[in-house]
């Protein structure tokens, strides 16, 4: 029995006794089940597994605390209306917002945060981490940490631009189809059907093979692939709005299609569209990451998470986890966005029930 | 019975039309190249004679619609022309590898379908419990992770640290079936992780949707035991959504295989496609895209037809 094992268990036991004494039932169950799980795993896997369990639980607790304080900070900063909404946010959503916020800061201030340039070669290839390089060097001797920071800007920025373009095209066409109706509606619907029946990754590969892989091509290709999904949703949502009396009134007033879309339909179909934006962003982000993992995304020397994984994958066969960090960064952002979207969907559906 | 056949026939016809439109897109997108294929292959420095020779060899001197019809009519008999880069027959390059890909996808499907449906039903029954919440977070994480992330994590633990399965899925002809399963276990497991998460969430949603319907509540109120409610009342109506979920996810499996094949250096059709895209080997790209799209449409059709067969309500559209 090492000091770690004894102190870990005593901490857990003291915590659960305190929770039981103060009648905090949920905390007690949480701590007690954690004790049980560590007990079983500790017997099976020895103290190494126990350290893993403890680290995992600690990280989870830390994430919970960070998201709690982030939510409180947001509530304090926001106006009264927004603060009321934020109070209903579950911890997962707060965690998601915190992650998105962190990524945004990292992306915007990348040149000030990163110690070296993204293409700057500073040491030997695959040099291990030291006090200069937080995560060691990559296959050309560039600082991994700096490339990770710049990658936030490049990868997320690319996905965000593509999603915006897809939304612009899809939502625009959807609302136009809903207001115009007739053959335009039919044609766009069938067109969207055809594009959606080609698997997205395959379609992206086809377009990249023809037009070569450069930033604008990737953005346009991804936007074309995902615009039909946005079109479908917008068409459905706007279709419900178009039949309302106030649209009829606006038409009788003699308003044009542009006015109808901008001032009447768009504001009334905003909530589901915002949630859809988050979901689409996740899909686009994963697709772009996949493409750059295949070496067909953003071209070197620009730092990009997908290609960073591929370039340093050899390190994995030596048991080194550094190549997994960019991949984990991709997963973390996607999970975070999903958490926030979940909350938004729940909120918009909950409001309908009242 | 006759109206079912008619409906199924209509769906098949629709699928055929969509496939035809997709083949047109795949073929004519290559025509959008600045210059033409010969120019793209030989580069800017090519002489006029070389260009003319290559154009004649590839039949580029004929108008595009004629070439499309030729390409399509030979593609029906699985002849996709010759590769630009190696000059080999595309079908001979793809054939065996397509079988490998199908094997991998089938391997993953055999594991994931029963597991996902069982877990999905379980989670739906235990909804809003702590088990459901944990499963929700886990499946969400699995869906949100890129396939290569899951793949490399599995390599790191199962191949490098614990040395249980090989990291690289190289195949040879004289392998026993057990050996084959062992070699391809990690790529299959990666696919399983992603697909199970998708399927579980969709099954859960379908079952919960069903359990909220009035006739289930009626059965509960009249005192039918919970298990019997599920087996006798819920399950017959749940088949339609479950078949739908399975078919849609198998369709996903076919495309998700591309990234996994690259991670594990698995000799499948996805690898061929990625290589061909990098080398701009258009006949191979076109053939792979057509095959992937056809499989995708086939599974979506299967989902449609399965839904029609198991749900009589769909046979009488209002």
What percent of chain B has pLDDT above 70? 94
Q: pLDDT for B115-145, tens place per residue?
A: 998 888 888 888 777 788 888 888 888 888 8
A contacts of B258 (beta carbons < 8 Å): 201-202, 205, 294
Substitution target in B23, B27, B255, B277 with the highest count of A β-carbons within 10 Å is B277
* A319 at B interface, C-beta within 8 A: yes
What percent of chain A has pLDDT above 90? 16
- Rounded alpha-carbon distances, angstroms, from residue A146 to A119, A142, A305, A307, A323: 9, 8, 12, 15, 14
- Using CB atoms, which residue from B30, B289, B296 is nearest to A197? B296
| Residue A331 to residue B262, Cβ atoms within 8 A | no
In the three-class reduction of DSSP (H, G, I as helix; E, B as strand; rest coil), residue A349 is classed as: helix
| Residue B254 to residue A209, Cβ atoms within 8 A | no
* B146 at A interface, C-beta within 8 A: yes
Across the range B53-79, mean pLDDT stands at 78
Across the range B1-16, mean pLDDT stands at 82
Query: How big is chain B by its Cα radius of gyration, in Å?
Result: 24
Substitution target in B148, B201, B259 with the highest count of A β-carbons within 10 Å is B148
* A309 at B interface, C-beta within 8 A: yes
- Using CB atoms, which residue from A197, A200, A210 is nearest to B300? A197
Across the range B11-30, mean pLDDT stands at 87
* B145 at A interface, C-beta within 8 A: yes
pLDDT confidence of residue B66: 82
A contacts of B20 (beta carbons < 8 Å): none
ipTM over 0.90: no
pLDDT confidence of residue A284: 92
pLDDT-derived band at A354 (thresholds 50, 70, 90) equals: very low
Lowest mean pLDDT among A73-87, A271-285, B259-273: A73-87
C-beta atoms surrounding B318 within 10 Å: 3
| Residue B149 to residue A296, Cβ atoms within 8 A | no
Torsion sign, CA atoms A300, A296, B80, B264: positive
Torsion sign, CA atoms B269, B273, B279, B282: positive
What percent of chain B has pLDDT above 90? 3
| Residue B149 to residue A323, Cβ atoms within 8 A | no
* B24 at A interface, C-beta within 8 A: no
Interacting residues of B228 by C-beta distance below 8 A, sequence separation 6+: none
pLDDT higher at A256 or A227: A227
Taking alpha carbons only, the member of B238, B239, B163, B245 closest to residue B201 is B245
Beta bridge partners of A142: A121
* pLDDT of A204 over the 80 cut: yes
* pLDDT of A353 over the 50 cut: no
Q: Which helix (H) or strand (E) holds A280?
A: helix A270-293
* pLDDT of B317 over the 70 cut: no
* A209 at B interface, C-beta within 8 A: yes
Interacting residues of A50 by C-beta distance below 8 A, sequence separation 6+: A4, A5, A8, A38, A41, A42
pLDDT-derived band at B36 (thresholds 50, 70, 90) equals: low
Q: pLDDT for A179-197, tens place per residue?
A: 887 888 888 888 888 888 8
CB proximity under 8 Å: B 74-93 to A: none
- Using CB atoms, which residue from A194, A202, A295 is nearest to B289? A202
pLDDT confidence of residue B318: 54
pLDDT higher at B32 or A286: A286
Torsion sign, CA atoms A296, A302, A307, A312: positive
| Residue A306 to residue B274, Cβ atoms within 8 A | no
- Interface size, chain A vs chain B, as Cβ–Cβ contacts under 8 Å: 130
- Angle at alpha carbon of residue B151, lines to B299 and A291, rounded to 5°: 70
């Amino acid at each position: 029995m090492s000091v770690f094992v004894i102190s870990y268990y005593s901490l857990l036991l003291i915590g659960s006794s305190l929770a039981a004494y103060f009648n905090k039932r949920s905390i007690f169950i949480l701590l007690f089940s954690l004790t049980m799980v560590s007990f079983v795993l500790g017997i099976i896997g020895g103290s190494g597994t126990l350290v893993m369990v403890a680290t995992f639980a600690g990280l989870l607790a830390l994430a919970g605390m960070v998201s709690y304080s982030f939510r409180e900070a947001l509530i304090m900063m926001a106006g009264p209306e927004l603060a009321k909404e934020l109070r209903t946010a579950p911890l997962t959503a707060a965690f998601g917002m915190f992650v998105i916020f962190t990524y945004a800061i990292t992306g915007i201030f990348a040149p000030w945060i990163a110690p070296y340039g993204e293409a700057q070669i500073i040491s030997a290839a695959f040099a291990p981490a030291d006090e200069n390089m937080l995560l060691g060097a990559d296959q050309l001797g560039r600082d991994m940490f700096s490339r990770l920071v710049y990658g936030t800007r490049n990868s997320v920025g690319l996905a965000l631009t593509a999603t915006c373009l897809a939304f612009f095209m899809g939502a625009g066409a959807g609302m136009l189809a809903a207001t115009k109706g007739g053959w335009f509606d039919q044609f766009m619907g069938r067109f969207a059907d055809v594009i959606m029946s080609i698997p997205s990754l395959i379609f992206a590969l086809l377009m990249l093979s023809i037009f070569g892989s450069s930033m604008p091509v990737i953005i346009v290709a991804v936007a074309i692939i995902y615009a039909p999904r946005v079109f479908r949703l917008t068409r459905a949502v706007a279709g419900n709005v178009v039949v309302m009396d106030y649209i009829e009134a606006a038409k009788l007033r003699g308003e044009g299609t542009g006015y109808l879309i901008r001032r009447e339909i768009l504001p009334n179909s905003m909530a589901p569209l915002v949630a859809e934006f988050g979901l689409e962003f996740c899909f686009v982000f994963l697709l772009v990451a996949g493409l750059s993992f295949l070496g067909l995304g953003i071209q070197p020397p620009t730092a990009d998470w997908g290609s960073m994984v591929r370039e340093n994958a050899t390190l994995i066969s030596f048991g080194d986890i550094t190549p997994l960090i960019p991949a984990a960064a991709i997963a973390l952002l996607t999970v975070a966005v999903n958490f926030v979207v979940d909350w938004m969907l729940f909120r918009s559906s909950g409001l309908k029930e009242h | 019975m006759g109206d079912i056949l008619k409906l199924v026939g209509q769906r098949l016809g629709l699928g055929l039309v969509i496939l035809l439109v997709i083949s047109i897109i795949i073929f004519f997108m290559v025509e959008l190249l600045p210059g033409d294929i010969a120019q793209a292959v030989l580069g800017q420095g090519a002489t006029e004679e070389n260009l003319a020779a290559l154009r004649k060899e590839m039949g580029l001197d004929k108008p595009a619609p004629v070439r499309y019809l030729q390409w399509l009519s030979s593609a029906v008999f699985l002849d996709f022309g010759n590769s630009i880069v190696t000059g080999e027959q595309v079908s001979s390059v793809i054939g065996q590898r397509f079988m490998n890909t199908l094997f991998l996808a089938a391997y993953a499907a055999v594991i994931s379908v029963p597991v996902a449906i069982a877990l999905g039903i379980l989670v739906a029954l235990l909804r809003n419990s702590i088990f459901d919440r944990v499963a929700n977070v886990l499946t969400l994480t699995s869906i949100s992770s890129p396939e290569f992330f899951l793949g490399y994590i599995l390599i790191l633990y199962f191949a490098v640290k614990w040395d249980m399965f090989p990291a690289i899925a190289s195949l040879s002809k004289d392998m026993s079936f057990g050996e084959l399963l062992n070699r391809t276990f990690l790529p299959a497991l990666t696919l399983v992780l992603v697909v199970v998460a998708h399927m579980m969430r969709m099954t859960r949603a379908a079952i919960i949707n069903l359990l909220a319907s009035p006739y289930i509540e009626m059965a509960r109120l009249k005192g039918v035991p919970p298990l019997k409610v599920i087996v006798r009342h819920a399950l017959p109506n749940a088949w339609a959504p479950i078949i739908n979920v399975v078919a849609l996810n198998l369709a996903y499996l076919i495309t998700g295989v591309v990234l996994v094949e690259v991670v594990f250096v698995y000799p499948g059709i996805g690898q061929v496609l990625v290589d061909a895209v990098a080398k701009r080997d258009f006949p191979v790209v076109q053939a792979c895209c057509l095959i992937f799209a056809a499989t995708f449409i086939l599974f979506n059709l299967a989902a449609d037809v399965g839904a029609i067969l198991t749900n009589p309500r769909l046979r009488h559209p209002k």
